[in-house]
Structure formats: C-alpha cells, structure tokens
C-alpha cells in the first residue's frame, strides 16, 4: 500500500464552508465611521504605505525617521 500523504490531492483537503467559518471569523464593524476609514485612508496613511511598500524608504525610515526618509525618496 502507498503512504496516505502520497495520495493527497486538492480534492481531499477541501472543507465545507460552514466548517471553515468556524475557524475564520470576520471582524464586525460597529459604526459607519469605521467603515468609512477602512475604505478612505488619510493622506498621511497613504504616504506611510507608499514608503513601506518601497524597501529602501522603509529601511531608511527605521534609521532616520519616516518624514526624512519619505522626503528623500518621494519629496
């Protein structure tokens, strides 16, 4: 007989949606305010994300601070 791990396929590891939902719970938002700020980010938060997504800027921001690093690369 073959080992069980050798015969695994993608079909054999699928689980029902109801079972998956027991493991993964979405965070409930309590107010329209929270919905708004999840979808519409402030300009400062957009700047932080732009710097974090560019490795040289992200690394430099740890060394000299966010504003100096951002201005060096994007300012």
Classify residue 56: in a domain, yes or no: yes
- Is 47 within the bounds of a domain? yes
Of all residues in the chain, the percent with pLDDT exceeding 70 is 63
Number of domains in the chain: 1
| Domain assignment present for 60 | yes
pTM of the model: 0.50
Q: Report pLDDT for 71.
A: 95
Q: Which domain holds residue 52?
A: 42-66
Q: Is residue 29 part of a domain?
A: no
Average pLDDT of the residues in 22-39: 70
Residue 72 lies in a domain: no
Per-residue 3-state assignment (H helix, E strand, C coil) for the chain: CCCHHHHCCHHHHCCCHHHHHHHCCCCCCCCHHHHHHHHCCCHHHHHHHHHHCCHHHHHHHHHHCHHHHHHHHHC
Beta-carbon contacts of residue 60 (< 8 Å; ≥ 6 apart): 68, 69, 72, 73
Q: Is the model's pLDDT at 56 over the cut of 70?
A: yes
* Higher per-residue pLDDT: 61 or 21: 61
Q: Is residue 65 pLDDT above 90, yes or no?
A: yes
Task: Report if residue 61 sits inside a domain.
Answer: yes
């Amino acid at each position: 007989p073959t080992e069980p791990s050798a015969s695994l396929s993608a079909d054999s590891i699928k689980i029902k949606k109801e079972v998956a939902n027991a493991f993964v719970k979405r965070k409930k938002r309590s107010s329209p305010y929270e919905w708004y700020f999840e979808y519409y980010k402030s300009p400062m938060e957009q700047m932080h994300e732009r710097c974090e997504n560019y490795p040289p800027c992200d690394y430099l921001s740890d060394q000299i601070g966010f504003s100096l690093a951002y201005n060096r690369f994007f300012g």
